[in-house]
Amino acid sequence: MKRAIQLLTKSKVADRCLTPEQRIVAAWPLSVSPVIARHTLAATVADGVLIVEVEDKLWQRQLEKFRHQIVAAIHKTTGGDQPKEIKFRLRAQRLGPMREEKPVRDAAPADEADAIADPFLGRIYKANRKRATG
């Protein structure tokens, strides 16, 4: 993946395929350490400002201190003068998969056909079951 990013940031073909903003976002993992790259996500570039999402306030405060060094590293990686500035914002918390809550019934029905809400369909089910079992 690292080699692909290097090609995207340095290649002449990439100049025709990617906008300067997309090149900056692609250069993010190369411009910072692997540890920082795992805890951040370069989201977008708007008006020369790179928006980077971070995991929590601690990462945000620490990266604020190194803002100018990171900008210089991005310039070196991309060979350009963008971005002018970096803003770090907290990443929105994403919820993982959740199980559906099923309503708790008072007691299990004595007959599974009693669990059928429609009485007409319940009678048809019982009649077919009786015919099938003999």
Task: Examine residue 109 and say whether the peptide bond preceding it is cis (omega within 30 degrees of 0).
Answer: no
pTM: 0.60
The string of pLDDT tens digits covering residues 19-69 is 888 888 888 998 999 999 999 999 999 988 999 999 999 999 999 999 999
Length of the chain: 134
DSSP 8-state class, residue 134:
-
Cβ atoms of residues 91 and 54 within 8 Å? yes
Q: Running DSSP on this structure, what letter comes out for residue 45? A: E
Tens of pLDDT, residues 82-122: 899 999 999 887 777 778 777 766 666 677 878 888 888 88
Q: Which residue has the tokens 């020369």?
A: 48
CA distance 50 to 32: 14
